[in-house]
Structure 1
Amino acid sequence: MQDGDWLIPLGHGVHAIDTGFQRPRFDAAYLIVDEGRAAFIDTGTRHALPRLLGALGALGLAVDDVDWVIPTHVHLDHAGGVGPLMHALPRAQLLVHPRGARHMIDPSALYQGALAVYGQEEMDRSYGQLMGVPAERVQVSEDGMAARLGDRQLELIFTPGHALHHHCIWDPVSRGWFTGDTFGLSYRELDNAAGEPWIFPTSTPVQFQPQALRSSVLRLLAREPEAVYLTHFGRLGHVQSLGQSQMALLDEVVTLGHALRDHPQRHQALRDALGALYLKSLRAHGCTLTDGQILEWLAIDIELNAQGMGVWLDRERS
């Protein structure tokens, strides 16, 4: 990706910032600008800081013009850069789900939890050390609250299912939801020949709750949005059909999880079953990549989704 390709204007004062995490077009932060005031939604990891600040400069904004930093939830690909970014933005307030606030103030437990999932080598390569945010600069969200940005009122709602500390942000100007991971993942490499996106739910450890996720997706759809802004990755339209597709896959994930609950080699069985499910779904969608290419693009997700399904199945059993 060439310099400058990481800043993507989307209309209505919304800009996607490719954070550079893992690969191009994998992880997005968003910058909303209204009447000279700005808000970041998600930040990527701390390695994204030059791009986040570079986006301000490219749009003629100063660091004092940012009112809000709003992570959708505190998983590190969404919020690992919050501390460094807040340090660089002297007037911004952090707006975070109440279940995530303590992890933004003191990220040590968050780091240790991610370390248990990813291991030290990956933590050093992709995430680095975390930085806490002073408590006096942290505001906790409430379900249904409004946050003013210029002349628009952003609305936040609680959306558990992927994570208990997840909220989504409604922008009335674009009539779009910033969905973090609640509305699933969609990679441009897997679009079909007509450019139509494929979407799938994520069950990343450790708080996957299928029924709560379904309820959250239905709540997003009830607003009849014209767009969703996914962290992974980008702005998508045709939201109702994408939501139905995601929930149909979610039902299949639940079914295969229950079928494999007591498998003697459950994790590998879940990995294999998810890979087969995704291949089947993508073939029906018209994806023209080979099976090997598809499985390579989805390797990280298959591993993490299988891990999260295992945690969910064990929690159901207890």
Structure 2
Amino acid sequence: MGKKAPIDLDNRIHLIDGFDLGLPGRTGTYVLQEEQLTLVETGPSPSVPHVLEGLKDLNLDPADVKYIILTHIHLDHAGGAGLLLNECPQAQVIVHRRGSRHLADPSRLITGARAVYGESFNDLFDPILPIPEDRLLIKEDGDTLKIGADCTLRFFDTPGHAKHHLGIYDPVSNGIFTGDTIGIRYHQTEDHGLTFYLPSTSPNQFDPEAMQQSMDRIKDMKVDRIYFGHFGESKEPEKVFMQVSEWIPVFVEAAEESSKNGNGMEGTQLRLLEKVSGYLKEQGIPDDHPVYEVLKLDFEVCAMGLMDYLSKNK
């Protein structure tokens, strides 16, 4: 696994690749170089050495980090927060109210992730360290945080992917950090001139209507940039909103058809792969492209979330 320099998005925002799952361009940590040095997302614990290396590349000292903002507490975004905090003695961790108790006591997070990831859990996520309550800072819808003379971040409640999800608006770039609320940016096909966007429907709080409402809300903000948890920045928000909105009902239908035919989770995963492969074929992406391996991984988790959603809404 190669080392990768932080990606310069606009001189004040850099993106450090955390090599989540050992893959480049999977999950990242955003660095906002303002008077109060701020990070958005930590990735899982195995990503923390990459984050620290990236800070070093930027000539930044982890001891100067003031805020670590988590869009939500799923372990691929936030699992490393406790470990990273050991290196950031001044930092406070910002989280949605619904997520804070699970960071203070991660036992339920760990149990839930073990159920999803089984034997791979240790390699992917270990260790998950509790965060002292006095270092947690809760932000609610409409709250703000001043991190520089000209930069006051604003927080939004953005459910759909998870009920404990924050969107973070950055006025300087007129951009928003969306975590997983409005899906995933698949940049792996850029070698064929294509970047595409799909919803992320992982368990266990996926809600298609809430997801669409959160997306409509962000759309009304007329942002210029979207900063994704997976992975990187998009300067084409209209395309993002259009594609993700089109795919949400397709994902739900795939699960409904599969459920009706008694094919469950596996059937859902195959249907998703079929539908998205068809789209990619039309776009001229060859069958042996590495993006399919990434999609297989993602659809396994998406299928779990979709089946979970159907079982709750029967």
**TM-score (normalizing by structure 1):** 0.93
Q: Which residue is equivalent to 1:15?
A: 14
- Measure how far apart 1:292 and its partner are: 6.9
Q: Which residue is equivalent to 1:140?
A: 138
Q: Which moved more, 1:216-225 or 1:52-61?
A: 52-61
Q: How does 1:1-318 map to 2 (within 5 A)?
A: 2-3=2-3, 5-22=4-21, 23-35=23-35, 37-119=36-118, 121-151=119-149, 152-191=151-190, 193-194=192-193, 196-284=194-282, 286-290=283-287, 293-317=290-314
Q: Percent identity?
A: 32
> For the residues of structure 1 that align with 2:305 and 2:284, how far apart are their CA atoms?
26
- Measure how far apart 1:297 and its partner are: 2.6
Do 2:184 and 2:197's aligned partners in 1 also have CA atoms closer than 8 Å? yes
> For the residues of structure 1 that align with 2:25 and 2:225, how far apart are their CA atoms?
18
> For the residues of structure 1 that align with 2:95 and 2:219, how far apart are their CA atoms?
23
User: Structure 1's 293 and 40: CA in aligned 2 closer, same or farther, altered over 3 A?
Assistant: closer
- 1:31 counterpart letter in structure 2: V
> For the residues of structure 2 that align with 1:81 and 1:6, how far apart are their CA atoms?
20
- Measure how far apart 1:263 and its partner are: 2.5
**TM-score (normalizing by structure 2):** 0.95
Do 2:188 and 2:195's aligned partners in 1 also have CA atoms closer than 8 Å? no
| Matched residue SS, 2:164 | coil
User: Structure 1's 214 and 192: CA in aligned 2 closer, same or farther, altered over 3 A?
Assistant: farther
Unaligned runs of 5+ in 1: none
After the TM superposition, list the runs of 4 or more consecutive aligned residues in structure 1 that deviate by more than 4 angstroms.
Answer: 291-294
User: Structure 1's 292 and 18: CA in aligned 2 closer, same or farther, altered over 3 A?
Assistant: closer
How many residues are treated as equivalent by the alignment? 312
> For the residues of structure 2 that align with 1:295 and 1:68, how far apart are their CA atoms?
36
1:20-62 CA-partner distances (Å, limit 9, x unpaired): 1120111111111113x31111001111222222233222322
User: Structure 1's 301 and 154: CA in aligned 2 closer, same or farther, altered over 3 A?
Assistant: same
> For the residues of structure 1 that align with 2:2 and 2:7, how far apart are their CA atoms?
13
> For the residues of structure 2 that align with 1:190 and 1:53, how far apart are their CA atoms?
29
Do 1:209 and 1:312's aligned partners in 2 also have CA atoms closer than 8 Å? yes
> For the residues of structure 2 that align with 1:139 and 1:249, how far apart are their CA atoms?
35
- 1:211 counterpart letter in structure 2: E
